[in-house]
Structure 1
Amino acid sequence: MKETEELREQALADAEDLRGAIGRLVRLVREGETLPSNQAAVLGHLVRDGALPIVELARRERVRHQSMARTVALLDSAKLVSLSQDQEDRRRIVVEASELGISTLKEARRIRSGALADAIENVLPVAERGSVRDVVEFLNRLADSMNLPGPT
């Protein structure tokens, strides 16, 4: 029993360290961003998957419909998306990334990825850079396993 408790305590300590390191890295990468992360996430869904109803965007981002409607309104006012009525259910609004939205997202990603790439090149020896790919795989496995419920 003692070994199980020690393993749990170590897992909790590791989780706290990981959460702190990821949070710090995310904050540093986001410095100077012009596109807020919630808007970038919505544009990412639209660029990857095409036009989607607001309700589906809310489900994917695990936010309430009203919150997603506000985010979409901001994107629309900046001309980053276009809105239309769903042809099957005229009450639903379908959101699609505009050309400006696509190019804005690409630029935001280029800036974020560039900052990380610079750090990787300047800090990690070539022999350690393969570890980055391993870490990404581990983090994705952890994220996939969590499946936390969203808002109701």
Structure 2
Amino acid sequence: MTPDTDIAERLRQSIGHLVRVVRAQADTLPPPQAAALGTLDRDGPRTIAGLAAARGVKHQSMSRTVGELEALGLVTRTPNPDDRRAVLITLTGAGVARLGEDREARRRWVAGAIAARLTAEERRVLQTVPDLLDRLAAGP
């Protein structure tokens, strides 16, 4: 491995581990439901097929997830103005609030872990990481 591929692998593993731990500690929704709500929040209303494609899951799985979210009052089905045969899945006010609660719980958990486990110098270093990751994600 080159130094760049080594750090890339360490980042991949560490970021994945952090995400899994934070979700396990802070999320109140099952991962498929939280992911669907997050997609709707970021991308706006979608068909079930569009949601399934965005999440990389089968239509049947997303249909089940949407049904669960709808039963919880977190999403609603609205007519698609571009295709009368289709419906759009839209976040409700309760869905926006629930997503916000989960995000706040994650923030609190990470902030608590930072305060408890990192030195002041490590916190200063950590402050640079989001900008670096954003630059990496920006692409060429």
Question: Which TM class, normalised by the smaller chain length?
Answer: 0.7 to 0.9
Corresponding position of 1:29: 22
- CA drift of 1:92 comes to 1.7
Once residues 137 and 55 of structure 1 are traced to their aligned partners in structure 2, the CA distance between those partners, rounded to angstroms, is 34
Gaps of 5+ in 2: none
Report the Cα distance in structure 1 between the residues aligned to 2:75 and 2:138, rounded to whole angstroms: 29
Amino acid in the other structure paired with 2:82: E
Q: 2:73 pairs with 76, 79, 82, which one? A: 79
Query: Mean Cα displacement is larger for which, 89-98 or 122-131?
Result: 122-131
Name 2:35's counterpart in structure 1: 41
Q: CA deviation at 1:60?
A: 3.1
Cα deviation, 1:58-114, whole Å, max 9, x if unaligned, reads 343344444332322221122211112212202222011122212211111111110
TM-score normalised to the size of structure 2? 0.78
Q: Which residue of 2 aligns with 1:52?
A: 46
Query: Do the aligned residues in 2 keep the contact of 1:80 with 1:98 (CA within 8 Å)?
Result: yes
Give the drift of 1:49.
4.5
Letter of the 1:11 counterpart: D
Equivalent AA in structure 2 for residue 118 of structure 1: G
Q: Matches of residues 38-117 of structure 1 in structure 2 within 5 Å?
A: 38-117=32-111
C-alpha RMSD of matched pairs (Å) = 2.5
Partner of 1:150: none
- 2: distance between equivalents of 1:11 and 1:59? 32
The answer for unaligned runs of 5 or more in structure 1 is 1-7, 147-152
Paired letter, 1:20:
Q
Which is greater in Rg?
1
Cross-structure match for 2:12: 19
Matched residues, number: 139
Superposition pairs of residues 117-128 of structure 1, within 5 angstroms:
117-128=111-122
Deviations 1:9-49 (A, max 9, x none): 33332222222211221222112432123322321233345
Contact 1:54 / 1:92 at 8 angstroms: preserved in 2?
no
Q: TM-score, normalised by structure 1?
A: 0.73
Kept in 2: contact 1:43–1:105 (CA 8 A): yes
Q: What code does the residue aligned with 1:38 have?
A: P
Identity %: 40
For 1:133 and 1:36, how far apart are their aligned partners in 2? Answer: 30
